[in-house]
Amino acid sequence: MPKSDRVPAADLPPGAVRPAGHWAVANDRGRLAAVSRRCRHQLADLSAGSVDAEGCLVCPWHQARYDLHTGEMVSGPRGFLGYHGPAPGYSGLVKRFGQVVRLRVRRAVRRGDDVVVADG
């Protein structure tokens, strides 16, 4: 397995998200998951996001939220381009798109001192 498809487990405490090749690997209170790294909104790198209290991956740019286990967008972005704030109609449209064009999902598993993205 390529070195890029793994994350040191010590670097992935609960709530954290880290890059692993083309994947964003997340720790939701001990449950590990991997999703594709590009937000469906404006292609932000989701590996720079975080996991919220409800176990959703939150985009670092406009806070779109994704279900880590299905890849579905559960709430749309709060803003666009450089604007950060309410955008109800726009947010709803992007959310519908993110429900149809979901993030790719893979299992992430602990192997020794690393968390690795399992093959599909």
The domains of the chain are located at 6-111
Distance CA 102, CA 15 (A): 21
What is the third-level CATH fold of 6-111? Rieske Iron-sulfur Protein (2.102.10)
φ/ψ bin of 37: left (φ > 0), alpha (ψ from -120 to 50), beta (otherwise): alpha
Residue 92 — pLDDT band, cuts 50, 70, 90?
Answer: confident
Q: Which residues contact 83 (CB under 8 A, 6 or more apart)?
A: none
Q: Is 9 helix (H, G, I), strand (E, B) or coil?
A: helix
Q: What is the pLDDT of residues 46-88, one digit of tens each?
A: 999 999 999 999 999 888 899 999 999 998 887 666 666 777 7
| Res 77: pLDDT | 81
The CA distance from 44 to 4, in Å, is 19
Average confidence (pLDDT) over 82-98: 71
